């Protein structure tokens, strides 16, 4: 089962919307809200969700954390520190593995923006989820915290990868040599190669530069067209 994302006493509608956007990006759709400060629905959530309306429309509201996780057998609390509660501590990656290995419903708790989860909230969880973070600045916003956990979940969720674009095959060596020869002739005529004793080294440097990318035939035709246009402009000025 996909885990349930539980936002505990969220403060801003915009952050609820951004959390919904983060969830849907990684295939999570079930959001539960515990006592949202500004009530629900919140008109500020929709624009911030950027199209993740499905998550917002399905969101359920509860009065307490206990009610929100009553049907869940695995409850994870995301927090930077243990807050005096002695529980197993895992990374988001390990939490995702544990959730996938279980057949029962799981919930992941995220605290309010300003203070995070309270000790009583964490006490309801069985496991704490945390990430290595700068001890001098352990401040993640709500959507950032959700996206860290959701991303780790998505690794094993077999989500479809973005479509790829086929690249044109590299051009034959003959075409590449033709383009380099055209450029070399133009540079020689313009007096670029100077002093004479540096000409071989300069030519090698240019060839190395131009043979690094895997130029396609279309790219070479385009570049040769540019060179021809520049050469034609030079001839026109000389008349």
Contacts 24+ apart (CB under 8 A), 164-167: 167/216
pLDDT at 161 over 70: no
220 pLDDT tier (thresholds 50, 70, 90)? confident
Domain boundary among 99, 122, 154: 154
57 pLDDT tier (thresholds 50, 70, 90)? very high
The verdict on 87 and 187 lying in the same domain is no
- CA 76/CA 99 separation, integer angstroms: 10
The verdict on 202 and 144 lying in the same domain is no
The verdict on 188 and 221 lying in the same domain is yes
Q: Write down the pTM of the prediction.
A: 0.69
Least confident of 4-13, 85-94, 216-225: 216-225
Residue 162, domain member (yes or no): no
pLDDT at 179: 87
Domain boundary among 154, 188, 213: 154
- CA 5/CA 93 separation, integer angstroms: 16
Contact 144, 92 (CB under 8 A): no
Contact 123, 79 (CB under 8 A): no
Number of domains in the chain: 2
45 pLDDT tier (thresholds 50, 70, 90)? very high
The verdict on 147 and 183 lying in the same domain is no
pLDDT at 151: 93
Residue 189, domain member (yes or no): yes
Q: What is the mean pLDDT of residues 101-111?
A: 93
Q: Which two tokens stand for residue 218?
A: 């279309």
Give per-residue pLDDT as tens, 206-217. Answer: 888 788 777 788
- CA 6/CA 189 separation, integer angstroms: 71
**Which CATH number goes with the domain that contains 20?**
3.40.1280.10
Least confident of 15-19, 39-43, 174-178: 174-178
The verdict on 34 and 102 lying in the same domain is yes
pLDDT at 148 over 70: yes
Write down the mean pLDDT value for the chain: 87
The verdict on 190 and 149 lying in the same domain is no
Burial class for 133, CB neighbours closer than 10 Å (0-12, 13-18, 19+)? exposed
Least confident of 56-60, 109-113, 152-156: 152-156
**Which CATH number goes with the domain that contains 211?**
1.10.8
The verdict on 9 and 107 lying in the same domain is yes
Least confident of 44-53, 77-86, 183-192: 77-86
Closest CA relative to residue 27, chosen from 59, 1, 65, 62: 1
pLDDT at 230 over 80: no
The verdict on 140 and 79 lying in the same domain is yes
Residue 196, domain member (yes or no): yes
The verdict on 27 and 96 lying in the same domain is yes
Domain boundary among 105, 121, 154: 154
The verdict on 210 and 121 lying in the same domain is no
The verdict on 31 and 124 lying in the same domain is yes
Angle in degrees, 0-180, between the axes of helices 142-154 and 13-25, rounded to the nearest 10: 10
Residue 199, domain member (yes or no): yes
Domain that holds residue 206: 173-238
pLDDT at 217: 85
pLDDT at 15: 95
202 pLDDT tier (thresholds 50, 70, 90)? confident
The verdict on 71 and 130 lying in the same domain is yes
């Amino acid at each position: 089962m996909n885990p349930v994302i539980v936002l505990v006493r969220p403060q801003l509608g915009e952050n609820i919307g951004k959390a919904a956007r983060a969830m849907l990006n990684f295939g999570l759709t079930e959001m539960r809200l515990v006592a949202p400060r500004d009530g629900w629905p919140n008109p500020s959530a929709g624009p911030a969700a950027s199209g993740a309306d499905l998550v917002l429309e399905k969101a359920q509201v509860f009065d307490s954390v206990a009610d929100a996780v009553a049907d869940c057998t695995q409850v994870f609390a995301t927090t930077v520190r243990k807050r005096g509660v002695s529980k197993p501590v895992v990374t988001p990656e390990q939490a995702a593995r544990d959730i996938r290995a279980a057949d029962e419903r799981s919930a992941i708790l995220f605290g309010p923006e300003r203070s995070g989860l309270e000790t009583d909230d964490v006490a309801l969880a069985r496991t704490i989820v945390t990430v290595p973070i700068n001890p001098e600045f352990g401040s993640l916003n709500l959507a950032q915290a959700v996206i860290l956990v959701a991303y780790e979940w998505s690794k094993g969720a077999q989500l479809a990868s973005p479509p790829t674009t086929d690249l044109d095959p590299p051009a034959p060596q003959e075409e590449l040599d033709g383009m380099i020869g055209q450029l070399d002739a133009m540079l020689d005529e313009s007096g670029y190669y100077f002093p004479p004793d540096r000409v071989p080294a300069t030519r090698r440097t240019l060839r190395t530069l131009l043979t690094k990318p895997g130029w396609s035939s279309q790219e070479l035709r385009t570049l040769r067209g540019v060179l021809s246009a520049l050469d034609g402009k030079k001839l026109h000025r000389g008349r």
